[in-house]
Structure 1
Amino acid sequence: MPPVTPCNLFGVRTDRIFARLEQEPARPLTPPPEMSGTRRTLFFTTLGFYVAVVVAVLTTSRLVRLDWQVMLFRPYKQWPELHAFLDYFVVLGQRGPTAVLVAAWLGWRSWRQRTLRPLLALGASLLLLNVTVGAAKLGMGREGPHYANRIGTNEMFLTGDIFPSGHTANAVVTWGILAYLATTPRARRRLSVVAAVFALGVGVTTVYIGTHWVSDVLLGWVSGLLILLALPWCEPLIARVEAYLLSHWYRLREGSAPLPARLRPRAAVTAPEGRLHAPGSRPGVPSPEPVLASPRSADRPGRVPDGPRTHHPSHAAGRHAVRSERSPVTPSGSRRPPGERTVSRTAPLGPRK
Structure 2
Amino acid sequence: MRTEQNLTRLDRVFARLDREPERPAHIDVPKMSRHRVALLVATLAFYLAIVWLVVVTSWLVRFDWQVMFFRPYQQWPEIHAFLDYYVVLGQRGPTAVMVAAWLGWRSWRQHTLRPLLTLGASLLLLNITVGAAKLGMGRLGPHYATTIGSNEMGLGGDIFPSGHTANAVVTWGILAYLASTPRARRWLSAVSAVVSLGVGLTTVYLGTHWLSDVVLGWAAGLLVLLALPWCEPLIARAEVSIFALRDRLRERRSGTFPVPAAPVAVPVSVAAGAAASSQDEAAAPRETATAARPPRAPVYLAPGPHTTRSERTPVTPAGSRRPPHADRLPRGATTSTARPLTGG
TM over 0.5: yes
1:123 to 120, 123, 133: 120
Which residue number in structure 1 is paired with residue 69 of structure 2?
A: 72
Deviations along 1:20-52, one digit per CA (max 9) or x if unpaired, are: 642674765423111110000000000000000
- Is 1:171–1:198's contact at 8 Å kept on the other side of the alignment? yes
Which residue number in structure 1 is paired with residue 109 of structure 2?
A: 112
In the alignment, residue 250 of structure 2 is paired with which amino acid?
R
3-state SS in 1 of match to 2:102: helix
CA positional deviation for 1:243: 1.0
Which residue number in structure 1 is paired with residue 190 of structure 2?
A: 193
- Is 2:61–2:150's contact at 8 Å kept on the other side of the alignment? yes
Distance change >3 Å, CA 20–CA 209, structure 1 → 2:
farther
Alignment of 1:30-69 (within 5 A): 30-69=27-66
2-side partners of 1:101 and 1:113: how far apart?
19
Distance change >3 Å, CA 28–CA 83, structure 1 → 2:
farther
Which residue number in structure 2 is paired with residue 164 of structure 1?
A: 161
2:228 to 228, 231, 242: 231
Where is the helix percentage greater, Structure 1 or Structure 2?
Answer: 2
Which residue number in structure 2 is paired with residue 182 of structure 1?
A: 179
Does residue 245 of structure 2 align to residue 251 of structure 1?
A: no
CA positional deviation for 1:270: 5.3
3-state SS in 2 of match to 1:157: coil
Superposition misfits of 4+ residues, deviation over 6 angstroms: 271-274
1-side partners of 2:106 and 2:266: how far apart?
58
CA positional deviation for 1:18: 4.6
1:102 to 96, 99, 107: 99
2-side partners of 1:96 and 1:117: how far apart?
21
Does residue 204 of structure 2 align to residue 202 of structure 1?
A: no
Higher Rg: 2
1-side partners of 2:151 and 2:32: how far apart?
36
Which residue number in structure 2 is paired with residue 344 of structure 1?
A: none
Q: TM-score, normalised by structure 2?
A: 0.70
Distance change >3 Å, CA 74–CA 88, structure 1 → 2:
same
Which residue number in structure 2 is paired with residue 346 of structure 1?
A: none
- Is 2:141–2:210's contact at 8 Å kept on the other side of the alignment? yes
In the alignment, residue 14 of structure 2 is paired with which amino acid?
A
Which residue number in structure 2 is paired with residue 147 of structure 1?
A: 144
- Is 2:44–2:223's contact at 8 Å kept on the other side of the alignment? yes
Query: How large is the Cα RMSD of the aligned pairs?
Result: 2.4
Which residue number in structure 2 is paired with residue 19 of structure 1?
A: 14
Distance change >3 Å, CA 230–CA 39, structure 1 → 2:
same
Q: TM-score, normalised by structure 1?
A: 0.68
In the alignment, residue 54 of structure 2 is paired with which amino acid?
V
1-side partners of 2:192 and 2:39: how far apart?
18
Q: Note the residue ranges of structure 1 that are not aligned, 5 or more in a row.
A: 1-12, 275-353
Distance change >3 Å, CA 106–CA 64, structure 1 → 2:
same
Aligned residues: 258
Q: Note the residue ranges of structure 2 that are not aligned, 5 or more in a row.
A: 1-7, 268-344
Which residue number in structure 1 is paired with residue 237 of structure 2?
A: 240
CA positional deviation for 1:251: 2.1
In the alignment, residue 22 of structure 1 is paired with which amino acid?
L
Percent same amino acid at aligned positions?
Answer: 66
1-side partners of 2:173 and 2:20: how far apart?
21
2-side partners of 1:24 and 1:128: how far apart?
31
Which residue number in structure 1 is paired with residue 170 of structure 2?
A: 173
In the alignment, residue 160 of structure 1 is paired with which amino acid?
G
Distance change >3 Å, CA 17–CA 122, structure 1 → 2:
farther
CA positional deviation for 1:268: 5.0
